Amino acid sequence: MGIVLPLDKYELERYSRQLPLIGVERQEKLKSSTVLIVGAGGLGSVISVYLTYIGVGRVIIVDDGIVELNNLNRQIIYSDRDVNEPKAVVACRKLREANPRVVIDCYGERFDERSGDRLVKEADVVIDALDNWRTRLILNSLCIRNGKPFIHGGVEGWHGQVTTIIPGQTPCLNCLFVGRKVVDRESAIPVIAFTPGIIGLIEATEAVKLLIQSGELLTNKLLLVDLYTMEFKTVNISRNPKCPVCSRA
């Protein structure tokens, strides 16, 4: 976050229902911030919509996928007419329409170490909206290397989890899996619409609280959500002093 940008008359009216809760100064912090969302599927579509509506100044989205019919049970930013279109193109168009004051940059490319490093450097906060661990761990390493706060969220079926990672202060994703083999599923992950909706909203909330420096965060904690039994459980997690990714951060 560089120079703090003032709100104009349009923005003061548009955000008037939330200003009593966060104040003009914090809304200006949001306007002056950049958030990178990696993934524009079930999680990413929810996260991007709400960060755009709340007034984050710049939202960067990376996803190399196309809209498929079986996405439409949960990926709320897309509709039937978007099937077979690139997700990045559709998301960009719809988010710009949703809030013309927010800069929306979408990249229809695979997120990898080379392209990702540049984008992570541009962000104030990075959000994991991915559906595979291989890319997730690349993102984790890039955030630790660049000192960028990183919000992890994951879903499967009725279950989801969220944690907020601050390099040098909290455990990273790799800490949680040192000595364990993480394997991605070969088949599509089954998921019901509510799960990415709720987990995505929690991730978006964590991002906003980080940016405006207000409220309690899910740092050093992993939130576990079971929507089938309607149980929300928070477990304490700690850094692994031997973690090859973050032990020197």
95-115 pLDDT tens trace: 999 999 999 999 999 999 999
* pLDDT given at position 179: 58
* CA–CA separation, 71 and 75 (whole Å): 6
pLDDT at 184: 59
Banded pLDDT at 181 (limits 50, 70, 90): low
CA triplet 128, 84, 187: central angle to 5 degrees?
55
| Domains of the chain and any CATH numbers | 33-236 (3.40.50.720)
- Find the angle CA(49)-CA(47)-CA(6) to the nearest 5 degrees: 65
Whether residue 182 is predicted with pLDDT greater than 90 in this model: the reply is no
Lookup result for tokens 């990249």: 107
What single DSSP character describes residue 86?
A: B
pLDDT at 248 over 90: no
Write the pLDDT tens digit of every residue in 201-228: 999 999 999 999 999 999 999 999 999 9
What is the residue whose two structure tokens read 């560089």? 2
Q: Are 210 and 29 in contact (CB under 8 A)?
A: no
Find all residues with CB under 8 Å of 64, minimum gap 6, and list them. Answer: 88, 108, 109, 110, 111
Q: Mean pLDDT over residues 142-156, rounded?
A: 97
User: Between β-strands 125-128 and 150-156, what pairing exists: parallel, antiparallel or unpaired?
Assistant: parallel
d(CA 24, CA 39): 30
What value does the mean pLDDT of the chain take? 95
